[in-house]
Structure 1
Amino acid sequence: MKLNWGTGIVLAFIGFISFIMFFIIKMNTNNKYDHDLVTEDYYAQELEYQNAIDKEENAKSLPENISWQKTSEGLLIVFPKHIEYKNITGKVFLYRPSNKQFDFEIPISLSNHNLLIPDKRLLGGRWNIKVDWEFNDKSYLYKKEIVY
């Protein structure tokens, strides 16, 4: 059987399309190549975006904002000293971009201006920290990307 140019081009296209379809099917069916959204409730968070902007502006208007430091015991979150710590409420959310199974949230419960997140809960690497807190009916938000 003799192949001409037209048959060769058609066979090349069929081979190329088969090659591409193999990888598309493999990527969609294999759990190793999971393609989740960044967060589970992405659309709900998008609707709350303006509220978060307002909270961040409130935090920026403070004379002193939240700070953090790495200690031997863990991650120490320091709240502003000029604010009465007993009236602070809220939650701290730590988000691990590389693996959502390590994400966790803890409520803010202070006995002084410091909140310690134990070292055993944090793996080395990049974390996004979000502190959503309230003081005297005014909401604040602190966001930071940290490398622990």
Structure 2
Amino acid sequence: MNWGTKIVIVFVLFAGLIVTLVTISMKQDVSLVAKDYYVQEIAYQDQIERIKNYKKLGAEQLRITYDDSRSVVVITAPGNHKREGEVHFFRPSDASLDSKYALKPNGDGHQYFDVKNFKKGLWKIKISWQENGREYYEEKTLVI
């Protein structure tokens, strides 16, 4: 085998490798974390203010707990139980699994979310609400 044949074989193998890599990369999901990611990024200073407002609450902060034995997420709102807002169960790896619920604690200040049907793995619980003319935001990472 002469050197010209070896060059052609190396070139064909290289071209095959490139075609394989392009095919694999075209099949990958390249969706953004959120559909309105850029709009959210522009308004992030407002989000920083919501987080600061939440930290100033002190003893009035929401508590988020996960009861593994019952597969239930419990949000406890001490003090004013009439907080209303939104609870967003966010799956970083797959936006199609995200779900949003209204934040409406019961008379005892608890709200229960059944997560038995949620896919196992990493979730972020994002809670935002407005109270007394101020906006608040809390986020907790949870592994189900």
Q: TM-score of the superposition, structure 2-length normalised?
A: 0.83
State the Cα distance separating 1:132 from its structure 2 match: 0.6
Amino acid at match of 2:75: I
Aligned equivalent of 2:113, options 113, 117, 122: 117
Is 1:69 the counterpart of 2:65? The answer is yes
CA distance in structure 2 between the partners assigned to 1:21 and 1:93 by the alignment: 41
Share of identical aligned residues, percent? 28
CA contact (8 A) 2:123 2:143 kept: yes
Aligned equivalent of 1:128, options 114, 120, 124: 124
State the Cα distance separating 1:7 from its structure 2 match: 5.4
CA distance in structure 2 between the partners assigned to 1:27 and 1:146 by the alignment: 30
Equivalent positions of 1:66-145 (< 5 A) are: 66-71=62-67, 72=70, 74-79=72-77, 81-82=78-79, 84-86=80-82, 88-112=83-107, 113-145=109-141
Aligned equivalent of 2:31, options 23, 36, 42: 36
Encode CA deviations 1:27-65: one digit per residue, 9 max, x unaligned: 31x3xx322112222112212211111100111111122
Query: In structure 2, the residue corresponding to 1:123 is in which secondary structure?
Result: coil
Encode CA deviations 1:89-121: one digit per residue, 9 max, x unaligned: 210000112322221000112223111112345
Q: How many residues align?
A: 140
Encode CA deviations 1:12-39: one digit per residue, 9 max, x unaligned: 13421331222212431x3xx3221122
Is 1:57 the counterpart of 2:52? The answer is yes
RMSD: 2.1
CA distance in structure 1 between the partners assigned to 2:117 and 2:40 by the alignment: 25
Is 1:19 the counterpart of 2:17? The answer is yes
Q: TM-score of the superposition, structure 1-length normalised?
A: 0.81
Query: In structure 2, the residue corresponding to 1:85 is in which secondary structure?
Result: coil
Amino acid at match of 2:96: Q
CA distance in structure 2 between the partners assigned to 1:136 and 1:93 by the alignment: 22
Following TM superposition, the consecutive aligned residue runs of length 4 or more in structure 1 with deviations greater than 6 angstroms are none
| Distance change (3 Å), C-alpha of 1:44 and 1:121 | farther
CA contact (8 A) 2:76 2:105 kept: no
List gaps (5 residues or longer) in structure 2. Answer: none
CA contact (8 A) 2:64 2:140 kept: no
